[in-house]
Amino acid sequence: MNPSLPRAEAVAVRDDRIVEVGTLDSLRPWLDAHEYRIDDRFADCVLTPGFIDPHLHPSMAAVLLPMHFVTAMEWKLPWGRVAPTTTPTAFDQRLSELDAEIAPNETLYVWGYHQLWHGPMHRARIDSIVANRPVVVWHRSFHELYMNAKALTWLGITESAVGNRQQIDLIKGHFYENGLGYAINQLNPHILSPERYADGLERLKQVVHAGGHTTIADMATGLFDFDREWQAMKDVLDTDDTPFRTELIVHATRLRQGGKTDAEALALADALVERNTHRLRFDKRIKLFADGAFFSLLAQVGEPGYIDGHRGEWLTPPELLHDMARTYWNAGYRIHLHVTGDLGVELGLDVLQRLQFERPRFNHGFTFEHFGFSTPEQIKRIRALGANVSANVYYLHELSDIYALEGIGYERASQMARLGSCFREGIMTTLHSDFTMAPAEPLNSAWVAVNRINCEGHQMAATECLTSEQALAAITINAAHVIGRADDIGSIRAGKKADFTVLGADPLTCDPLELKDIPVQGTVFEGNVFPLS
């Protein structure tokens, strides 16, 4: 990803940094001047710059990963592949197997149930399979769950405690929408317990390594509880055996909690860098929020809106967003703005345009995060105002089919993640997983961006496909630019950190349809090899 030297045969590393890239011959002056050892264990592999995911959520992953996956889709997890479970019988069978596998006094948490594959779920059905331990079955969407009788008793959820409430069906053990909030409240002490959370972060560590990352960015530190998250990250992600660094971008709304003014919140943000360790790093970066969740159809979309006429939502009132953004803009921060719909992008652009008018900045790093829907005209404005784009391209794979039918229609659904246009305009553009929203596999994100094939196998807006080179840049050097670390990571050149991802095939010459299946054989983080079996 160094355009001046796109390919090389050898790289010389001293301690944690690259000293020279080229061929063994061209490296000779360095080798003659210093002691060296040639490590050719990757002679048959391809080394790329270490992959960077510039937007995921370790805290959400820490909650989800300790659960048992029983899913209709295949999941590749480091501790085992989760085979698809596609029938009601197979689902029950899997529950029964899990019951036999886990310790007798353990609660069984299952994630991934979906009625289209697994049939109607209810308390009696779970009881008939597992009656002697609490069982909690989460829906794939996370928006509903079911419990067996033992779980209800365990949590003290009784008829008299709950009464006759909407969205809680005790007979079925079903909790959804508002009822789900009640269930989660009762479950929180258990699913957020320090041991379980630490176990979840350990699993995240394995997932991040398996994806081939050497850098990740936690794009909303403080999502649940700042101090608890920070302590757990120090305990788990700041150890010598962690094969990656974590860049922390703090959640701006959390900083204002307790009635703090913007100036007080800024002072708190400024002080965070004093906590930096070798692998955990704050910087002048802040996360702000515009419109609602893409998966929940709460993105703010412009005319003509959603097919059914419902409206998206704002996570921050536009005026407040202006004020918060101004505080950090004037203090020289890089602003990462969560936007999902084109009206969200429009608000971000209006905010940025006003800030540029009031106090012009160059290379300011203002980044549109997620970038679900957009318009071609907005691409020009993003370029003109000097902003970046960090896209969750997996939206296109998972949702473009259903959103074409039931959300906003084919034209706009097929053009979600308008990334070809971004590259044509020269916008600094990267890809992220937003894990746990999408698999934390950069090659999978690259595969979607290059092929734009959705879950039904249809190619959507071929004009917006990236080339393999663009996609590889997106998950390495462009990601480094977007998080403000391009001087140190993201490409293989003299002076940078010795971070590499070791691949079994060349992503630039392989069939683009095979990108997601290239084996990640290991990583090198700051000169240390971390193999993957």
Partner 1 sequence: MIPVTVIGGYLGAGKTTLINRILSATTTPLAVLVNDFGALGIDAELIDRANASVMELTNGCVCCTIQDDLGGALESIRGSDVHHVIIEASGVALPKKVAQYGHTWPGYCPGGVAVLVDVVHIQRLRRDKFVKHLVDQQLQQADLLLLSKTDLADPPAEITRYGKRTVDLQNVTEFDWLLQLKPSPNPEQIADHVHFIATELTEKISLEPVEVRRFLEQNPQIRRAKGWFRDGNGDQWHLQAVADTCAIEPSVARPTSLVFIHLADTQIDLECLVKGAH
Question: Which residues touch 288 (CB under 8 Å, ≥6 apart)?
Answer: 252, 316, 321, 324, 325, 328, 335, 336, 337, 338
**Among 65, 86, 85, which residue's Cα sits nearest to residue 77?**
65
> Pick from 207, 272, 343, 399: which binds partner 1 (CB under 8 A)?
343
d(CA 430, CA 350): 22
Residue among 182 and 530 whose Cβ is closer to partner 1: 182
> Pick from 28, 81, 143, 260: which binds partner 1 (CB under 8 A)?
260
Q: Which residue has the tokens 């059905």?
A: 125
Q: How many helices (H) and strands (E) does the chain have?
A: 21, 22
What is the total count of residues that contact partner 1 (CB under 8 A)? 31
Is residue 314 involved in binding partner 1 (CB under 8 A)?
yes
d(CA 207, CA 219): 17
Q: Which residue has the tokens 């149930």?
A: 113
C-alpha separations of 281 from 224, 246, 276, 278, 490 in Å: 19, 7, 5, 7, 16
Would residue 490 be called left, alpha or beta, if left means φ above 0 and alpha means ψ between -120 and 50 degrees? Answer: left
Buried b (16+ CB within 10 A) or exposed e, 417-456: bbbbbbbeeebbbbbbbbbbbbbbbbbbbbbbbbbbbbee
Residue among 150 and 256 whose Cβ is closer to partner 1: 256
Question: Which residues touch 83 (CB under 8 Å, ≥6 apart)?
Answer: 74
Is residue 467 involved in binding partner 1 (CB under 8 A)?
no
Residue among 3 and 163 whose Cβ is closer to partner 1: 163
> Pick from 104, 258, 360, 457: which binds partner 1 (CB under 8 A)?
258
State the nearest-atom distance from the C-beta of 476 to partner 1, in Å: 34
Q: Restricting to residues 114-173, which ones interact with partner 1 according to CB under 8 A?
A: 161-163, 165-168
Q: What ranges in 369-432 are assigned the alpha helix state H?
A: 376-384, 394-406, 410-414, 419-424
> Pick from 85, 316, 429, 468: which binds partner 1 (CB under 8 A)?
316
The one-character DSSP state at 32 is H
State the nearest-atom distance from the C-beta of 419 to partner 1, in Å: 25
**Among 198, 217, 199, 255, which residue's Cα sits nearest to residue 57?**
217
State the nearest-atom distance from the C-beta of 310 to partner 1, in Å: 10
State the nearest-atom distance from the C-beta of 386 to partner 1, in Å: 22
Contacting range for partner 1; rule: CB under 8 A; set: 140-148, 206-214, 306-314, 353-361: 306-314
Is residue 319 involved in binding partner 1 (CB under 8 A)?
yes
Question: Which residues touch 269 (CB under 8 Å, ≥6 apart)?
Answer: 250, 252, 255, 284, 286, 328, 333
The one-character DSSP state at 46 is E
Residue among 316 and 451 whose Cβ is closer to partner 1: 316
Is residue 313 involved in binding partner 1 (CB under 8 A)?
yes
Contacting range for partner 1; rule: CB under 8 A; set: 106-114, 200-208, 310-318, 463-471: 310-318
285 pairs with which residues across the strands? 334
314 pairs with which residues across the strands? 291
- What pairing do the DSSP bridges indicate for beta strands 17-22 and 429-431? unpaired
Residue among 152 and 479 whose Cβ is closer to partner 1: 152
> Pick from 29, 156, 317, 360: which binds partner 1 (CB under 8 A)?
317
Residue among 270 and 313 whose Cβ is closer to partner 1: 313
Is residue 346 involved in binding partner 1 (CB under 8 A)?
yes
Residue among 159 and 517 whose Cβ is closer to partner 1: 159
Q: What ranges in 133-225 are assigned the alpha helix state H?
A: 149-155, 159-162, 178-191, 194-210
Residue among 318 and 519 whose Cβ is closer to partner 1: 318
Contacting range for partner 1; rule: CB under 8 A; set: 132-140, 342-350, 503-511, 517-525: 342-350
Residue among 207 and 301 whose Cβ is closer to partner 1: 301
d(CA 224, CA 222): 5
Is residue 355 involved in binding partner 1 (CB under 8 A)?
no
Residue among 63 and 236 whose Cβ is closer to partner 1: 63
Site track for partner 1 across 170-189, x = CB under 8 A? --------xx-xx-xx----
Is residue 459 involved in binding partner 1 (CB under 8 A)?
no
Residue among 248 and 351 whose Cβ is closer to partner 1: 351
- What pairing do the DSSP bridges indicate for beta strands 520-525 and 500-503? antiparallel
Contacting range for partner 1; rule: CB under 8 A; set: 13-21, 45-53, 309-317, 387-395: 309-317
Q: What's the longest Cα–Cα distance across the chain?
A: 81
Q: Restricting to residues 237-256, which ones interact with partner 1 according to CB under 8 A?
A: 256
> Is-contact 218 436, C-beta < 8 A?
no
State the nearest-atom distance from the C-beta of 161 to partner 1, in Å: 6
Is residue 259 involved in binding partner 1 (CB under 8 A)?
yes
Q: Which residue has the tokens 């609660």?
A: 107
> Pick from 347, 427, 431, 482: which binds partner 1 (CB under 8 A)?
347
d(CA 361, CA 364): 6
Residue among 260 and 359 whose Cβ is closer to partner 1: 260
Binding positions for partner 1, rule: CB under 8 A: 161-163, 165-168, 178-179, 181-182, 184-185, 256-260, 300, 311, 313-320, 343, 346-347
